[in-house]
């Protein structure tokens, strides 16, 4: 690697040629503040918070886009630099709605943190016309408040570059510039897929999920309701971040303890339904392969991906697995088999799910998701919403004991756990399908080729007499590319896993918000996924079809895998949606 010699704040450094001043400073233990910069997505130098002095340059330069060069001398903290950053922040604040005490991002706002760090005291230095925008609450999963928008364009970059959708972007010019949808439509009127990636990259409270914790509190206080909760695989690997724990800390035991203390009658594990999804999906895949069904079969666990397919690739709907997502399978099983077992009326069960995904809020209202005649799931809350409930209840999360999920819907295998990482669904399905098709136990359970956080992974496996070609995709821009290859004939697969969010559920739109400085320089997806793979490795059971609780449910209620009863309760259908 070719290097160049530079100086930052008088300190000599040797750094790779071509990297930016921002990256060079970081490698030297110096953090230059940013607001708009998002690595590999939004490298536009627009906010001017990251400006630095470069010897010989006539003006301050944006360090996030300015490459280093041989002999360059940089000052990152001069009086001129500090004053420029402070003035920029004051200008941003001049049109910013400052309700920090009640803002959903209060205490976690990057703008607020920078103002405190740079000692911005005069918030009224620049006064004048202040545009007022109506809050857009039209989407089922989120709100959009342009009164708090700082025009960093991170949301537009995440939607356009990561997801390949682009329903958000800057409208008009100059002082009238604002973020919106085409033709000033509301978010609920466009082909948004509810993924929430715009929310987790927003530095302020301009974007947020629709908080439904009030509905959950109401249910918990209703003595006529049996309030049950299920938690998705990835939550145990991310919830701790909301309480200051290191990224990738597995907090399963404390999470269960917290939910029990919030008042839930039963605390269950969605991983059981992940195992259920695998046996149904593997059965469906084997049937398609044997009987000439539509291939490639594509997973249906990610509601953001499913909605994307319905909007943008409706011709591929027959390729989707008919399996409900684990969230919906769990709710459907709870309100049929478990209700029957407990002697409860399904209408008296209030099913809450804790999910990494804002698209789950949309999914609970989809058609054909009501196996017992009532919604399979009543309310889906994000990891962030659960964290707020724990805080509101005054629970000292890090001091809680480790407790276990309730039986019988709390038992799962390692295959269910890894659902939260990209490639996890594929690996779990292969563990089961390979044994069913091959007719013998697997010697090695790890399918390393489909692991990792890359956006597109491909592999081939010899299973019995069949060579199975698979692809694993995360992020909808990558899904678009894979589907293009399939349609053009450039690529041929038997089975494709698609996760709507880059990196899978561990990086979902409902996960704890991390600052850009963490997202840009830390392997957030990898650290979170590592916790799930470690959990899988330590499980006594690692194949979905060997889960004893699952087998009992099938014995008592569903019968065989893929049975008529299973299809009535655990499978669903899809609809073509308008693209514009």
d(CA 502, CA 266): 32
Write b or e for each residue in 63-101: b if 16 or more Cβ atoms lie within 10 A of its Cβ, otherwise e.
bbebebeeebebbbeeeebeebbbebbbebbebbbeebe
**pLDDT-based confidence at 440, cuts 50/70/90?**
confident
> In the predicted model, is pLDDT for residue 380 greater than 90?
yes
Q: Is the pTM of this model over 0.85?
A: yes
CB atoms within 10 A of CB 151: 18
Which DSSP helix (H) or strand (E) runs through 355? strand 349-355
**Window from 350-354, 435-439, 528-532 with minimum mean pLDDT:** 435-439
The predicted structure's pLDDT at residue 133: 96
CA 383, CA 511: separation in Å to the nearest integer? 5
> How does residue 463 score in pLDDT terms, banded at 50, 70 and 90?
confident
Report the pLDDT value the prediction gives residue 170, as an integer from 0 to 100. Answer: 96
On the question of pLDDT at 580 being above 80, the answer is: no
Residue 143 has pLDDT above 90, yes or no: yes
Tens-place pLDDT, residues 258-296: 999 999 999 999 999 999 999 999 999 999 999 999 999
Average pLDDT over all residues of the chain: 96
Is a pLDDT exceeding 80 seen at residue 212?
yes
For range 191-215, the mean pLDDT: 98
CA 566 to chain centre: 28
Residue 2: other Cβ atoms inside 10 A: 6
Q: How many CB atoms sit inside 10 A of residue 253's CB? A: 15
CB 457 within 8 A of CB 450: yes
- pLDDT score, position 125: 82
pLDDT, tens digit (0-9, with 9 covering 90-100), for 82-113: 999 999 999 999 999 999 999 999 999 999 99
Q: What is the distance between the alpha carbons of residues 132 and 278, in angstroms, rounded to a whole number?
A: 49
Q: What sign does the CA torsion over 149, 153, 154, 160 have?
A: positive
Chain centre to alpha carbon of residue 555: 34
pLDDT tens profile 1-20: 899 999 999 999 999 999 99
All domains of the chain, ordered by start, with CATH?
3-77 (3.10.20.740), 102-209 (3.30.70.20), 215-570 (3.40.50.1780)
Residue 471: closest CA among 484, 457, 485? 457
33: Cβ–Cβ under 8 A, 6 or more apart, which residues? 49, 50, 85, 114, 117, 118
């Amino acid at each position: 690697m070719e290097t160049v010699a530079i100086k930052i704040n008088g300190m000599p450094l040797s750094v790779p040629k071509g990297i930016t001043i921002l990256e060079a400073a970081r490698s030297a233990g110096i953090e230059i503040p940013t607001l708009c910069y998002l690595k590999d997505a939004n490298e536009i130098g627009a906010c001017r918070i990251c400006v630095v002095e470069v010897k010989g340059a006539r003006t301050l330069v944006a360090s996030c886009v300015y490459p280093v060069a041989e002999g360059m001398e940089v000052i990152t903290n001069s009086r001129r630099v500090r004053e420029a950053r402070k003035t920029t922040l004051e200008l941003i604040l001049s049109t910013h709605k400052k309700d920090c005490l009640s803002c959903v991002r209060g205490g976690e706002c990057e703008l607020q943190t920078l103002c405190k760090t740079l000692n911005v005291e005069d918030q009224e230095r620049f006064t004048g016309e202040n545009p007022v925008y109506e809050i857009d609450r039209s989407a089922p999963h989120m709100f959009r408040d342009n009164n708090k928008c700082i025009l960093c364009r991170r949301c537009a970059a995440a939607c356009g570059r990561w997801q390949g959708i682009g329903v958000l972007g800057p409208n008009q010019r100059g002082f009238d510039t604002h973020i919106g949808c085409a033709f000033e439509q509301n978010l609920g009127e466009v082909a948004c897929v509810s993924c929430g990636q715009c929310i987790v990259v927003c530095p302020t409270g301009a974007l947020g999920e629709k908080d439904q914790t009030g509905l959950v509190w109401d249910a918990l206080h209703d003595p006529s309701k049996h309030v049950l909760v299920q938690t998705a695989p990835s939550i145990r690997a991310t919830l701790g971040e909301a309480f200051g724990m290191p990224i990738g800390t597995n907090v399963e035991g404390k999470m269960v303890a917290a939910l029990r203390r919030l008042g839930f009658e039963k605390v269950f594990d969605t991983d059981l339904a992940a195992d259920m999804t695998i046996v149904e999906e593997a059965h469906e895949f084997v049937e398609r392969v044997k009987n000439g069904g539509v291939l490639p079969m594509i997973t249906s666990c990610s509601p953001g991906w499913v909605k994307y397919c319905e909007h943008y690739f409706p011709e591929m709907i027959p390729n989707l697995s008919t399996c409900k997502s684990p969230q919906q399978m769990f709710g459907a099983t709870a309100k049929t088999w478990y209700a029957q077992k407990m002697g409860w009326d399904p209408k008296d069960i209030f099913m809450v799910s804790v999910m990494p995904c804002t698209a789950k809020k949309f999914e609970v209202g989809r058609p054909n998701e009501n196996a017992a005649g009532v919604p399979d799931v009543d309310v889906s809350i994000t990891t962030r919403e659960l964290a707020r409930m724990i805080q509101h209840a005054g629970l000292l999360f890090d001091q809680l004991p480790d407790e276990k999920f309730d039986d019988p819907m709390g038992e799962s295998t390692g295959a269910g756990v890894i659902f939260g990482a990209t490639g996890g669904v594929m690996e779990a399905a292969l563990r089961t399908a390979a044994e069913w098709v091959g007719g013998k136990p697997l010697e090695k359970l790890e399918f390393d080729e489909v692991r990792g956080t890359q956006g597109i992974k491909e592999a081939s496996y010899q299973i019995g007499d069949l060579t199975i070609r698979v692809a694993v995709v995360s992020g909808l821009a990558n899904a678009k590319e894979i589907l293009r290859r399939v349609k053009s004939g450039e690529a041929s697969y038997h089975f494709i896993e698609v996760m709507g969010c880059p990196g899978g559920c561990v990086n979902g739109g409902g996960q704890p918000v991390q600052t850009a400085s963490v997202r840009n320089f830390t392997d957030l997806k990898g650290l979170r996924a590592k916790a799930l793979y470690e959990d899988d490795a330590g499980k006594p059971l690692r194949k979905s079809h060997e889960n004893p609780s699952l087998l009992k449910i099938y014995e008592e209620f569903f019968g065989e895998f893929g049975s008529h009863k299973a299809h009535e309760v655990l499978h669903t259908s899809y609809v073509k949606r308008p693209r514009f």
